[in-house]
Amino acid sequence: MLSISNPPLHLSTRKISMGKPHAIMVPFPMQGHIIPLMELAQCLAKHGIKITFVNTEINHDRVQAFSGNEALDDRIRLVSVPDGLESSERYIPEKFMETVYEIMPRNIEELIQEINASNEDKITCVIYDQCLGRIQEVAEKLGVGSAAFCAAAAALLVLGFNIPRLIEDGIIDNEGSPLNNNNIFQLNPTMPIISPSDFVWNRSKISAIRKLVFNIMKQNNKFMKSANWLICNSVHNLEPGAFTVATQITPIGPLLSTNRPQNLPDHIQEPDPDCLKWLDQQPPCSVIYIAFGSTTIFNKNQFQELAMGIEQSNRPFLWVVRPDSDKDFPDGYLDRVTTHGRIVGWAPQQRVLSHSSIACFISHCGWNSTLESVSNGVPMLCWPYFADQFINRSYICDTWKIGLTIDEDENGVVKFDEIKEKIDRLFEEDVFKERALCLKEMISSSASEGGDSYKNLSNFISWIRG
């Protein structure tokens, strides 16, 4: 592990051509952002690019423990930097976000200076999560090339770029709040229809977070303009409207471990070792897979309604209930479902979704989960929780029409009979599966040799190689 010291070094050229190409990659410190950037790191390393992949200490330990060195090309070096937070502060969102935006860029600057002052290959470019826009300032200050990486849909970026227009048109006020809740909004005829109350920054219950996310998006717009590349884990044909109105965004997705020839790990948590064997025993297209990403939390009442809805559907299911969630199952539940249900703390999701026994996916619509589902032709039941997940739901249900939305009742609760009814519809109406399979075809051709994403990624790699 590199230590962080600070020998100042001033570099004047934009891209340094001495030695081998060497990229420093910095994900936003959340699992859903780390996974796709790790995937990109593996692609780049396969093309001879040396990678220094930087996580905060807590995530670095996870990546090392569960991806393990055998998961990584020997050109990838994992490095950690402190996030400057006490462990209790990591759960205070304002503290977490503010500190990440101040401390991480500073640490990255020091790390680049340290590497460049040493005998190893100089850093030639920085690839950073676009949420960490201030790292762009570091790249400019140190004279290295830069690429901002978006782990979410391109539509999220387009929404951010349009903040000034949304204010000017009276859709939102200066702090991002909707001026009329009944509006629905579409930035372009092929882009998702959403309500301003579902804009990314408005989907937190805490007003300080809403403000923070809104301001960070505005600030990051400015930084992204200066980056040499703005790359996105998406596919042109999935979001043609977004890529037409924002030609500066380059799609290079889907970045999935299943696209790699090697059977390398794709997780940073310990997955249940037996669930794939359990899936092998289920009939084709019979199992409901239920998972809500790395942060979604349900209250007791909602958790029990979900449990009952799954039970009432009376079909085989694989349900991820993370170790950090409350497991308040209804009385006798685990005994009643034992013959046809499997509940695990974490699943090897990409491999689960590519298993022939999976019929549908009940999901929070995180962008990784969405891409993994569409890449495998799996219809979805959408239950978004936070941030960009509402835009993703709109793509799934309104644009691609490969899923259904789960609706809350008038008290804001999703009842068990709503869950059962929507599950039944996904099984009974073949049209969802048919469309999902078409989308799967389209996506896989984009990532294959000659496809759009393949060409974009090749161009990006050529740029890094200089």
Residues binding ligand UDX (CB under 6 A)? 30-33, 35, 151-152, 267, 291, 293-295, 320, 346-347, 349-350, 366-369, 372, 387-389
Judged by beta carbon, residue 371 or residue 414, the one nearer ligand UDX is 371
Q: How far is the CB of 383 from ligand UDX (least distance, A)?
A: 12
- Decide whether 135 or 142 has the Cβ nearer to ligand UDX: 135
Nearest residue to ligand UDX, using CB? 32
Question: Bridge-partner residues for 38, per DSSP?
Answer: none
Q: Of the two residues 22 and 267, which places its CB atom closer to ligand UDX in the complex?
A: 267
Contacts of 119 (CB under 8 A, 6+ apart): none
Q: CB of residue 33 vs ligand UDX: minimum separation in angstroms?
A: 5
Instruction: Compare residues 101 and 142 and give the one whose CB is closer to ligand UDX.
Output: 101
- Written as six digits, the tokens of 84 are 């400057």
When the beta carbons of 147 and 387 are compared against ligand UDX, the nearer one is 387
Whose Cβ is closer to ligand UDX: residue 208's or residue 297's?
Answer: 297
Cα 329 to chain center, whole Å? 29
Question: What's the 3-state SS for the chain?
Answer: CCCCCCCCCCCCCCCCCCCCCEEEEECCCCHHHHHHHHHHHHHHHHCCCEEEEEEEHHHHHHHHHHHCHHHCCCCEEEEEECCCCCHHHHHCHHHHHHHHHHHHHHHHHHHHHHHHHCCCCCCCEEEEEHHHCCHHHHHHHHCCEEEEEECCCHHHHHHHHCHHHHHHCCCECCCCCECCCCCCECCCCCCCCECHHHCHHHCCCCHHHHHHHHHHHHHHHHHHHHCCEEEECCCHHHCHHHHHHCCCEEECCCCCHHHCCCCCCCCCCCCCCCHHHHHHCCCCCCEEEEECCCCCCCCHHHHHHHHHHHHHHCCCEEEECCCCCCCCCCCCHHHHHCCCEEEECCCCHHHHHCCCCEEEEEECCCHHHHHHHHHCCCCEEECCCCCCHHHHHHHHHHHCCCEEECCCCCCCCCCHHHHHHHHHHHHHCCHHHHHHHHHHHHHHHHHCCCCHHHHHHHHHHHHHHC
* Smallest separation (angstroms) from ligand UDX to the CB of 45: 20
Of 64 and 295, CB closest to ligand UDX:
295
Closest CB to ligand UDX among residues 197, 325: 325
Partners of 229 in the β-ladder: 147
The CB-of-293 to ligand UDX minimum distance in angstroms stands at 3
Tell the smallest beta-carbon distance from residue 270 to ligand UDX (Å): 10
Q: In the complex, what is the shortest distance from the CB of residue 26 to ligand UDX, in angstroms, rounded to a whole number? A: 15
User: Closest distance between ligand UDX and the C-beta of residue 12, in Å?
Assistant: 36
CB closer to ligand UDX out of 294 and 394: 294
Of the pair 31, 124, the CB lying nearest ligand UDX is at 31
Longest dimension (CA), the chain: 68
Q: Residue 257 CB, nearest distance to ligand UDX (Å)?
A: 9
Task: In angstroms, give the least distance from the CB of 294 to ligand UDX.
Answer: 3
Please state the closest distance from residue 269 (CB atom) to ligand UDX, in A.
7
